[in-house]
Amino acid sequence: MAKMHTPAMEAIEKRNAKRKKPIKSTPTSESWKRFKRNPTALIGLVVVCILILIAIFAPLIAPYDYQVQNYLAMMQKPSLQHFFGTDQFGRDIFSRVIYGTRYSLLIALFCTLAALFSGGLLGIIAGYFGGVVDTVIMRIMDVFQSIPMIMMAMCIVAVLGNGIPQLVAAIMFASMPTMARNNRAAILRVRGNDYIESSEAIGVGQVRMIIKHMIPNAVGVMIIYFVGFLAVSIMMMSSMSYIGVGLAAPTPEWGLILNDGKAYLTSAPYMMLFPAMMIMITCFAFNLMGDGLRDAFDPRLK
């Protein structure tokens, strides 16, 4: 067919000729464009970036050591010396909250990575091989899923004891069924595509198929789960620490700081207010960002 020459086409060609670089439109750049247009998602992204900076530069921002006890300054109200006040041991709450960012984000990252690798692997295997493998894996996951997630995690911490690696293991196991289910769905969607069939036809090996063809095409959806799960693991971690099954003192994790202030809720509410705000802001920001990512990577899911 001959090239069309309508006035509109000519206008477009003229405009393109003016640009020095040709317009490149990849799925990723399209996603980023959609993400940029979403104001709430951008707010989430900015807050998350600020939190990451706080976590990295915690020693520079925090005026005091997070575990030094100062018995001359116990239970002080927020002031210029202690922005968020001090706790019953005279520890500066502002410094604890700042270091808490580092601990909470890092632990959440570990939990999410662990969950993604374990549950994700199971899901990918189930989704790729299908048949009996799929049935067996998913039925086992069904059993795991009929125990509420937080209860499962609490049981595991009760067995292993309080501590960071134990908590990571607990949240990993508890979230495995959800992760497996999500990743399986992502793989199943990719699996139906024609390019998978043609790769199969030219004899691409199974491992290569999964790593080279399936995961890269499912990665957008996986990123969505990844960011969403960061918020979930912060929620679970702080809830568990708050009721005393999770991390051990004096780790400056937000849930634990709240647990420290529990007894002084009526006399010194400021001890709990600031860590609680921090948890709220963090979880909300991650969710805003995750939601924006979902809309950007996968407009159909909206």
Partner 1 sequence: MLRYIIKRILLLIPILLGVSAIIFALKTFTPGDPARQILGNDATETQIQEKRAELGLNDPVPVQYFRYIGGVVQGDFGNSYRTGEPVLSEILPRLAVSARITLGAVAMGAIIGIFMGILSALKKYTWVDSLVLVISMFFQSVPEFVVALVLIMIFAVNMHFLPATGIDTPAGYILPMCCIGLSSVASYTRITRSSMLEVLGEDYIRTARAKGQTENNITIHHALRNAMIPVAQSIGTSLGNSIGGAMVLETVFGVPGVGKYITDAITQRNYPSVLGGALIIAIILTIINLLVDISFVLIDPRLKTTIIAPGKDKKRSLKKAVA
Sign of the torsion angle spanned by Cα atoms 94, 97, 101, 103: positive
12/160 with CB nearer partner 1:
160
- What is d(CA 191, CA 179) in angstroms, rounded to the nearest whole number? 18
Q: Which of 42, 61, 109, 150 is in the footprint of partner 1 by CB under 8 A? A: 150
Determine contact, residues 273/210, Cβ cutoff 8 Å: no
151 binds partner 1 (CB under 8 A): yes
Q: With CB under 8 A as the contact rule, which of the stretches 4-12, 57-65, 202-210, 286-294 interacts with partner 1?
A: 286-294
Does an H or E element contain 229, and which?
Answer: helix 215-242
Beta partners for residue 92, in sequence order: 86
Comparing CB distances to partner 1, the nearer of 9 and 263 is 263
The structure tokens 């020693």 sit at 59
* Distance between CA atoms of residues 41 and 188, nearest Å: 28
Under the criterion CB under 8 A, does residue 136 sit at the interface with partner 1?
no
Q: Does 41 bind partner 1 (CB under 8 A)?
A: no
Q: Does 144 bind partner 1 (CB under 8 A)?
A: yes
Check residue 286 for interaction with partner 1 (CB under 8 A).
Answer: yes
Contact 260, 87 (CB under 8 A): yes
What are the residues whose beta carbons fall under 8 Å from the beta carbon of 150, sequence distance 6 or more? Answer: 174, 236, 239, 240
Is 95 within 8 Å of 65 (Cβ atoms)?
yes
**Interface with partner 1 (CB under 8 A), residue from 106, 159, 211, 263:** 159
Q: Which of 177, 238, 293, 295 binds partner 1 (CB under 8 A)?
A: 238
For the four alpha carbons of 242, 246, 249 and 254, in that order, the dihedral sign comes to: negative
Which residue in 252, 276, 274, 278 sits closest to 103, CA to CA? 252
Which of 59, 165, 269, 299 lies at the binding interface for partner 1 (CB under 8 A)? Answer: 269
Kindly state the smallest distance separating residue 280's Cβ from partner 1, in Å: 5
User: Shortest distance, CB of residue 204 to partner 1, whole angstroms?
Assistant: 28
Single out the segment in contact with partner 1 by CB under 8 A; choices: 13-21, 61-69, 128-136, 241-249.
241-249
The stretch near partner 1 (CB under 8 A) out of 58-66, 79-87, 188-196, 278-286 is 278-286
| Rg of the chain taking only CA atoms, in angstroms | 24
Min dist. Cβ of residue 285 to partner 1 (A):
9
Which stretch of DSSP H or E encloses residue 290? helix 270-297
Number of residues that bind partner 1 (CB under 8 A): 43
- Give the residue among 293, 299, 234, 226 at the shortest CA–CA distance from 40: 293
What gap in Å lies between CA 206 and CA 1, rounded to an integer? 41
Residue 6 or 146 having the CB closest to partner 1: 146
Which residue in the set 75, 78, 284, 298 belongs to the binding site for partner 1 (CB under 8 A)?
Answer: 284
Give yes or no for residue 216 binding partner 1 (CB under 8 A).
no
Q: Does 279 bind partner 1 (CB under 8 A)?
A: yes
Binding site for partner 1 (CB under 8 A): 40, 139-140, 142-144, 146-152, 154-156, 158-159, 231, 234-235, 238-239, 242-245, 258, 265-266, 269, 272-273, 276, 279-280, 283-284, 286-288, 291, 302
